[in-house]
Structure 1
Amino acid sequence: MNEKSLYTSPYDDNEYKWLLDNIAKHFELDLRGYKQHRVRRRIDMIMRKYSYKDYKTYFNDLKKDPKKWDEFLDKLTINVTEFFRNPEKWEYLKKNVLPRLMKESGSKTKLWSAGCSTGEEPYTLSIILEELKAPKTIKVMATDLDKFVIAKAKRGVYSSRSLVNISEDLKNKYFKKVGPDSYEVSPIIKSRVVFKQHNLLMDPFEKNLDLIVCRNVVIYFDMEAKNGLYKNFAASLRKGGVLFVGSTERIFNYRSLGLEVIEPFFYQKVSD
């Protein structure tokens, strides 16, 4: 089944291409590498909500009305996550990966949570760093395209659903109950995470990273964008560094990127 057959839009196809080109040019947001049936369906839903007849009229309003642009960003991003998602993988990271990386890089160990969404992933990393008694100088760089989820991540308040994989011991140590079903991450965990906005398809990547965690993000990209992203991740790792991906994601051409599999969903850089 090709991608076009997954969704049929009531709007003009050529004008849709024009919309994507102009969003990339005007807002520096390139959506062309994402799976288009997902992107277009979401855009069309907003347009139908306001009874737009065509993409050009909608784009003109996006340029003029910041609230409409904020809504566009909010609807186009996918933010479903939880702490310690796939707990056995985080246990492997804690026992086998981070201790080695910190032994090799010491207090300068560089960690990146790419596509961090509402913060559960980088805060999970921060909890592990605390449990390993890592030097306070080791921070987690956490990035996402969506400024709204970054704002939520900085607040660090979550429902019990997000904490389903966290033991009572860790919950008591690193969270404070602030409402009937609200838990705030402790200041010590927050202090290790540095959030910033970043577009994985357009912005430059840092170099000489020890660990990149990018889980359940790449599944929304088409094959060309996916391959480019994995290539950039591999280039950003130092030799010996590790890329940790989601449990539905596999890098089939990992050898050509200078990577090797050290455990399912963990790729170590072995050559440039």
Structure 2
Amino acid sequence: MEQDFQFFEQWAYKNLSIDLTAYKPTQLHRRILTIMKRAGYKNLKEYAKAIDENEKIKIQFLDYITINVTEFFRNKEMFFNLQKKIEFYLLNEFSSLKIWSAACSIGAEPYSLAIILDKISKENDHKILATDIDDSILQRAKQGIYTWNEVKNVDPQDRITYFDQRQGKFFLKEDIKKKVNFKKHDLILDPYDKGFHLIVCRNVIIYFKNKTKDKIYKKFYESLVPGGLLFVGATETIFNYKDLGFEKVSTFLYQKQR
């Protein structure tokens, strides 16, 4: 079976442009076998052939293998803290912010940032880039349609201000949707843009090997302006942040040294 995974990882890199070797193998292999069996295949070579020939199976694989569990203001207290730090560290120095929501999934995270900026700095022209490796999830993000569970952390008044509720769904209003630009991007394989004041990447890096984590954090560092902030997930403390060139300004929030 180990040889099968080696074949599948090489095949995925060549045909899907995904570097599966960067992920923690135990968790990754379990997920691959789960989705393979759900699709009705007994071995990875048959499954790879099916992914190559059937677009629906391909989309199901990509949706499952890339982690897409998210919601607006996930870990709400952490977002409240982030808002205070944006006001103190960024808006006091920069009039216009360039923000990157990396591995944005269905868009709840970058839209949460757009709502924050609309509330505390509406008059300024901020730019939010949201990226993900999954085309289908990006299409859903652009639609801006969410379930109750996905917006449950949004304050009641903000749900009225920023969403239209119809038929049990929450439709994000256009003036917030247009504040976010979505683009496909692979954190492992693709080059990173520069000049960001804030990078938000949460609950994704945890699935990578330590060597890959450090490479990504170093690239984030290079992409930030001096004094820029990196906001990570609730289970993603960066223990070697000083070695990477960051200062820790609060829990799960790091600043590029000036």
Question: Matched residues, percent identical?
Answer: 41
1:16-165 equivalences under 5 Å are 16-98=5-87, 100-107=89-96, 109-135=97-123, 137-165=125-153
Alignment partner, residue 169 of structure 1: 157
Larger deviation, residues 39-48 vs 186-195:
39-48
Cα distance in structure 2, aligned partners of 1:123 and 1:255: 30
Deviation by residue 1:63-119 (Cα, 9 ceiling, x = unmatched): 222222112112212211111112222122222324532343323x21000111111
Please state if 1:263 is matched with 2:244. Answer: no
Cα distance in structure 1, aligned partners of 2:68 and 2:125: 29
Q: 2:200, 2:231 within 8 Å by CA — same for their partners in 1?
A: yes
Change (3 A) 1:50 1:209: closer
1:51 Cα deviation after fit = 4.3
Q: 2:73, 2:153 within 8 Å by CA — same for their partners in 1?
A: yes
Q: 1:136, 1:192 within 8 Å by CA — same for their partners in 2?
A: no
Amino acid at match of 1:256: D
Q: 2:95, 2:124 within 8 Å by CA — same for their partners in 1?
A: no
Q: 2:39, 2:57 within 8 Å by CA — same for their partners in 1?
A: no
1:135 Cα deviation after fit = 4.1
Considering only aligned residues, what root-mean-square deviation do their CA atoms show, in Å? Answer: 1.6
Amino acid at match of 2:238: I
Alignment partner, residue 13 of structure 1: 2
Deviation by residue 1:134-171 (Cα, 9 ceiling, x = unmatched): 34531210111111211111111111112222211111
The two structures have a TM-score, normalised by structure 1, of 0.89
Cα distance in structure 1, aligned partners of 2:71 and 2:78: 14
1:58 Cα deviation after fit = 2.2
3-state DSSP of counterpart to 2:227: strand
User: Can you give the 5+ residue segments of structure 2 that lack an aligned partner in the other structure?
Assistant: none
Larger deviation, residues 28-37 vs 190-199:
28-37
User: Can you give the 5+ residue segments of structure 1 that lack an aligned partner in the other structure?
Assistant: 1-11
Identify which of 196, 216, 219 aligns with 2:203.
216
Change (3 A) 1:267 1:48: same
Cα distance in structure 1, aligned partners of 2:93 and 2:109: 23
Cα distance in structure 2, aligned partners of 1:160 and 1:49: 27
